[in-house]
Amino acid sequence: MRSWDSAFGLGRFGVRKLLAVLYTALALGANVAQADVAGLRDGDMKKLALHSTPVAVPEAALMTLDEAPASLADYRGKWVVVNFWATWCAPCRAEMPSLDALQAALPDLAVVPVATGRNAPEAITRFWEEAGVTHLVPLRDPKSELGRQMGVLGLPVTVILNPEGQEVGRLIGDADWSSDSAKAVLQALMAGG
């Protein structure tokens, strides 16, 4: 059986060079894609920190409003915008309608609001009705387990996950997620990976 090196006539060092060139090209391609996304950030999206390498997200048990088990793993295979919020958080309340509009505008994206800490299902339902939120399905993190594991120290915090369930970006504070800039950034991320 012939080795890969000799099968292509590259020799041992030629294969290493080829692999180094391919790795560099892939890394540069990722940096170009990230630079393209960074160039789209305007307004509130300037607060979006994009990671140079995707970050693993811990598993934590979440629940729906009717206390059925849920998990971020349920969204694998899709780009996801996870928004950590609370009913008592004024900036969160102001931001939620823009997240609802984002979900309506980009149906291939999963916008997942996670009420972290003590948020009674009745209070969440009442807020949804008052704010006119119709496109989002809230999840609960009643003991802030996921929030703590992901380093959420204040609210709101929005995290962007790739289809593998890894964090690729984070925005601390509120933002207008229905803005043209937010949609352009998310569409570019979705198109690039």
pLDDT at 183: 97
pLDDT at 137: 97
State pLDDT tens for residues 110-120.
999 999 999 99
State pLDDT tens for residues 12-45.
544 444 333 333 333 333 433 454 787 888 889 9
115 vs 63, 101, 141, CA distance in Å?
Answer: 10, 18, 6
**Torsion sign (Cα): 127, 128, 129, 130:** positive
pLDDT at 11: 53
DSSP 99-113: HHHHHHH-TTSEEEE
Within 13 Å of residue 154, how many CA atoms lie on the same side as its CB?
A: 6
Q: In angstroms, rounded to a whole number, what is the distance separating the alpha carbons of residues 111 and 82?
A: 6
State pLDDT tens for residues 146-182.
999 999 999 999 999 999 999 999 999 999 999 999 9
Asked if residues 170 and 159 have their Cβ atoms less than 8 Å apart, the reply is yes
Within 13 Å of residue 13, how many CA atoms lie on the same side as its CB?
A: 0
Residue 129, Cα to own-chain centre: how many angstroms?
25
Q: In angstroms, rounded to a whole number, what is the distance separating the alpha carbons of residues 98 and 173?
A: 14
Asked if residues 60 and 146 have their Cβ atoms less than 8 Å apart, the reply is yes
pLDDT at 42: 82
Phi-psi region of 131 (alpha: psi -120 to 50; beta: other; left: phi over 0): alpha
Q: In angstroms, rounded to a whole number, what is the distance separating the alpha carbons of residues 165 and 124?
A: 26
Instruction: State the amino acid at position 100 in one-letter form.
Output: D
pLDDT at 132 over 80: yes
State pLDDT tens for residues 37-93.
878 888 899 999 999 999 999 999 999 999 999 999 999 999 999 999 999 999 999
> pTM score > 0.95 for this model?
no
**CATH pick for 44-192 out of 3.40.50.1820, 3.30.950.10, 1.20.1730.10, 3.40.30.10:** 3.40.30.10
pLDDT at 1: 44
Residue 19 φ then ψ, to 5°: -65, -40
Q: In angstroms, rounded to a whole number, what is the distance separating the alpha carbons of residues 121 and 41?
A: 35
In DSSP terms, 84 is beta-bridged to 114, 157
